[in-house]
Structure 1
Amino acid sequence: MEIVSIISAYEDLLKWAFAGFITLLLTIVWYAVREWISGVREGFLKVYTKLEELVDVIDKIEVLTHVQNEQLSQLNSTINKHDSQIRELHDKINEVKAEYITYRKKNK
């Protein structure tokens, strides 16, 4: 009887040891998964932060592009204005030349 009770005690001890081992193993796995999830979350946060920075840079580029487009439009307007003035001066020069040629022909 004593041997049976010793074997029964060892069986109970082995069951509890196995249960403890499984509990320890599950705890280790749980912490590993938790750390992995934490690392993934930190990775996503870093990526999100970089994406926000990229969006800020794109916004700045859009603003600068808009400003440059306005400046180019103003410059184009100024060029067109000066071009018109140059054509008017050229026309006046041609008129004066024509008058001079007419004057020279009359006074020859």
Structure 2
Amino acid sequence: MGKTKDVTDATFNADVLGASKPTIVDFWADWCGPCTKFSPILEQLAEEYGDKVDVVKVNIDENPETSSNYGITSIPSVYLFKDGEQKASVIGARPKQFFEKEFSEYLH
């Protein structure tokens, strides 16, 4: 794994809700084909915008508490958090440009 960070039920509050920067959270699973294909896009976002946002991944099978708390029923689900609050969400794999537009106010 490159610039993205794995977050767990135990670290979610500190790594996401308590983060000093906006945080893009990818809810995913090993068995999810679209999640696997989508992962390089998140790596690119982390590489290009790492000074503005953190990009983290939550494996829903290994972290059922966090995924349940946020009502994750479809994956990949990508949420953006800022100042401890969920500000945006995107369900399904999308092109990088989509995320750059959707999350633009947090990336610039």
More helix by share: 1
TM-score by length of 2: 0.17
Q: Which has the larger strand fraction?
A: 2
TM-score normalized by structure 1? 0.17
Query: Bigger radius of gyration, 1 or 2?
Result: 1
